[in-house]
Structure 1
Amino acid sequence: MASGVATVWLPVEDMGRAVKFYGETLGLTVKSEGDDWSELTTDGLTIGLNGREDTHDGATGGAVITFEPDIDLYDEIVRLTDAGVEFVGEVSNNPWGRIATFKDSEGNDLQLFEPPPS
């Protein structure tokens, strides 16, 4: 049985662009940066950015990372939209919380999550 998540790896086409997106746009801490591998951290989780193989045709499916913003969900959507992020569809309202879906700079799926009020 897994006791937690140690690292999430995401494939990227352009390492510099991806590090800028996760570091500057999303505000994660850049731990290390290289041509084929970079690491960022958020709330104790390491996110690895892995340079795609030349034989790969681009983002198609894969892992989804869900972030819980420090501020109101809609305020974070405005902040990210102002930074050039495009959201996919409307915010999904569910009994278990709200989800806003967007893409990173490399085409990977990301989400913002806000739990229901307690």
Structure 2
Amino acid sequence: MPHLAHIALVVRDYDEALAFYVGKLGFELVEDTHQPEQDKRWVTIRPPGAPASATNILLARAATDHHAQYIGDQTGGRVFLFLATDDFARDHARFTAVGVEWVRPPADQPYGRVAVFKDLYGNLWDLVQFAPGHPAASPTQ
């Protein structure tokens, strides 16, 4: 069956992106392989504790000025990525402690508890703990 293996996130620099996503947010580095024929790296990450079968984020360094103009604005200012958690309070506190910029405070919605943060480039992310019974809720809820 087809499935999403990776989603590309355009970044300015591999190492600064890794410092944020792995260093600050605690994501796991899945792969970092140099591709000399294209002078780029194949860098994939995933949220901590995500199963090996999860969709990974491919950190795609902007290779042209055209690519670079979309760094931080891949979705025209809308929330781009949705980071599900099984413990909203824990992860919100951890992200706050490492200086993550929140653009919308925690709020309870019919689908769960959510807050919006910016990554180092300005992309908007939801941190969300889905409500019990929601189709995306953790099986332990």
The answer to whether residue 114 in structure 2 is matched with residue 99 in structure 1 is yes
Give SS of 1:64's match. strand
After superposition, residues 38-77 of structure 1 pair within 5 angstroms as: 38-42=43-47, 43=50, 44-55=54-65, 56-57=68-69, 58-62=71-75, 64-70=80-86, 72-77=87-92
Distance in 2 (CA, whole Å) between partners of 1:96 and 1:69 is: 13
1:28 counterpart letter in structure 2: F
**Which structure exhibits the higher relative contact order, with contacts defined as CA atoms closer than 8 Å and separated by 6 or more residues?**
1
Query: With structure 2 as the length reference, what TM-score do the two structures score?
Result: 0.70
- Cα-Cα RMSD: 2.2
Distance in 2 (CA, whole Å) between partners of 1:32 and 1:66 is: 21
**How far apart are 1:77 and its partner, in Å?**
1.1
1:88 maps to which of 96, 103, 109: 103
**How far apart are 1:53 and its partner, in Å?**
3.1
4+ runs of 1 displaced by more than 6 Å? Answer: none
Aligned residue for 2:13?
Answer: 14
Which protein shows a greater Rg? 2
Aligned residue for 2:123?
Answer: 108
Q: How many residues align?
A: 116
Structure 1 spans left out of the alignment, 5+ residues: none
